[in-house]
């Protein structure tokens, strides 16, 4: 089955936030939550030689998703088409996925009594209805968010950098990060400057988690960080536990300071 993919071009993003609103409506996202953020370089330089770049940021849909490997109850799953889905019925609110994700994507709805995670599921139900694109890509007035097959999106990213080298830094974010993802970013400035969690610098809990899981002690490792309730709930649900995946780039570090 063909894998889905995004290409998000920071040179085209005008920070209008149509994608954020579209996502909220399409997915019935509560008013206090969001599944997309704007990464913003801020205004840099000295007047009048200024620069500013932005890009919408949401779940990267990793090839080897750390969140799925961290989820003890199978609430997070990777579909054949590459979509990382989230099942709020199965979720126990343990937040392991939050610590596991090197991109800080799953967000906890702290305001709720029985808090769950919210994250992009690539508008899986919208696609199931026969719509061609997720709501964010469909509405983007500048085609900053494009959607298609993962292969096509990656090829398009390479082609854009090749044909307009003066316009982009030579880095496709998502091509190699966390072992490769289904969301690719290209940008006129470094992803560090754009506030992305960069592969070189993040001290991600996922790193710890992955090391731990590779040693076969995921529950103890995570439980130490979370507490006994997590262990209890995890044990209760461990019938749904997913196979732990081996993840590449376990040594990578990520900067967690995203400007949102």
Partner 1 sequence: MTKTISRRDFLKLGAASVGAFAVGQMLPPMVAKAAKESGLINAAGNGYISTMCEMCVWRCGVIAKIVEGRVVKLDGNPEHPHSRGNLCPRGQSGLMNTYDPDRVLTPLIRVGKRGEGKFRQASWEEALDLVASKMTEIKTKYGAEAMVFSSTHNLSQPLFENLLYAFGSPNYGTQRSLCFNAMIVANTMTYGMEEPARIYDDKLKYILLTGRNLFEAISTSETSDLSRAIDRGAKVVYLDPRYTKTASKATEWLPIKPGNDLAFHLALLNVIIGEKLYNRAFVEKNTIGFDELKKEVSKYTPDWAAPLTGIPAETITRIAHEFADAAPHALAHNGWRTSNFINSFHTQRAITILNALIGNWDVVLTEAGGEESGKLGAPSQPPYPRVSALRLDGVPWKYPVVPFKIGVFQEMRDNIVSGEPYQAHGWFISRQNPVMSLPDREKTLKAFAKLDFIVTVDIILNDTAWFSDVVLPEASYLERYDPLLPFGDKAFLRQPVIEPQGEAKSALWIYKQLGERLGLGDFFQYTDEEDYLRQQLAPLGVSLEEVKTKGYAESPETPHAGESAEKSWNTPSGKIELFSDTLAKVGFSGVPTWEEPPQPAEDQFYLLTGKVAQSTQFGTQNNQLLNKYSDEPRLWINTQVAAKLDLATDDWVEVTSEVGQIHIPVLVTQAIRSDCVFMTPGYGHLSKGLTTAFGIGASDSVLHVTYTDPISGGQALSQTFVTVKKVDDASSAETLKPLYLGE
| Minimum distance of partner 1 from residue 21's CB (angstroms) | 4
Question: Which two tokens mark 194?
Answer: 């754009």
With respect to partner 1, which residue has the nearer C-beta, 32 or 246?
32
CB 128 within 8 Å of CB 79: no
- Comparing CB distances to partner 1, the nearer of 48 and 239 is 48
The span from the CA of 1 to the CA of 80, in Å, is 7
**Least distance from partner 1 to the Cβ atom of residue 134, Å:** 11
Distance CA 83, CA 15 (A): 25
Of 119, 132, 118, 124, nearest in space to 80 by CA: 124
Q: How far is the CB of 57 from partner 1 (least distance, A)?
A: 14
The CB-of-87 to partner 1 minimum distance in angstroms stands at: 17
* Least CB distance to partner 1 at residue 52 (A): 4
Residue 111 vs 217, nearer CB to partner 1:
111
Dihedral in degrees, nearest 10, Cα atoms 150, 153, 157, 158: 60
C-alpha 105/C-alpha 113 separation (Å) is 21
Residue with tokens 């994250």: 119
DSSP reduced 3-state for 86 = strand
Is 40 or 177 the residue whose CB approaches partner 1 more closely?
A: 40
Beta bridge partners of 152: none
Contacts of residue 124, defined as CB under 8 A and 6 or more positions apart, other chains included, come to: 79, 83, 85
The contact set with partner 1 (CB under 8 A) reads: 12, 14-18, 20-22, 24-26, 28-32, 34, 43, 45-48, 50-53, 135, 138-143
Between 1 and 50, whose beta carbon lies closer to partner 1?
A: 50
Q: Closest separation between CB of residue 125 and partner 1, Å?
A: 11
With residues binned 3-state (H G I as helix, E B as strand, rest as coil), the percentages for the chain, rounded to 5, are: 30, 15, 55
Nearest to 36 by CA among 121, 133, 155, 148: 121
Beta carbon of residue 245, minimum distance to partner 1 (angstroms, whole number) = 33
Torsion of CA 125, 175, 200, 197, to 10 degrees: -30
Smaller CB distance to partner 1: residue 9 or 252?
A: 9
- Whose Cβ is closer to partner 1: residue 135's or residue 199's? 135
Q: What are phi and psi of 28, to 5 degrees?
A: 55, 45
């Amino acid at each position: 089955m063909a894998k889905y993919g995004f290409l998000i071009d920071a040179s085209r993003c005008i920070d209008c936030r149509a994608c954020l609103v579209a996502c909220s409506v399409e997915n019935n996202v509560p008013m206090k939550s969001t599944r997309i953020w704007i990464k913003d370089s801020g205004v840099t330089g000295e007047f009048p030689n200024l620069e500013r770049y932005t890009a919408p940021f949401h779940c990267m849909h990793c090839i080897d998703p750390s969140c799925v490997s961290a989820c003890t109850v199978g609430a997070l799953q990777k579909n054949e088409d590459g979509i990382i889905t989230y099942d709020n019925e199965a979720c126990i609110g343990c937040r392991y996925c939050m610590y596991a994700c090197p991109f800080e994507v799953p967000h906890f709805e702290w305001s709720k009594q029985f808090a769950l995670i919210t994250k992009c599921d690539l508008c899986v139900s919208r696609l199931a209805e026969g719509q061609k694109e997720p709501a964010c890509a469909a509405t983007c007035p500048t085609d900053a968010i494009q959607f298609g097959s993962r292969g096509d999106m990656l090829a398009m990213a390479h082609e854009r950098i090749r044909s307009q080298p003066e316009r982009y830094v030579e880095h496709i974010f998502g091509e190699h990060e966390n072992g490769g993802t289904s969301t690719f970013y290209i940008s006129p400035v470094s992803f560090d400057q754009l506030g992305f969690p960069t592969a070189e610098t993040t001290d991600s809990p996922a790193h710890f988690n992955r090391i731990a899981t590779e040693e076969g002690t995921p529950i103890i490792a995570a439980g130490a960080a979370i507490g006994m309730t997590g262990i209890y709930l995890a044990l209760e649900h461990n019938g749904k536990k997913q196979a732990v995946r081996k993840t590449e780039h376990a040594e990578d570090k990520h900067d967690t300071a995203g400007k949102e």
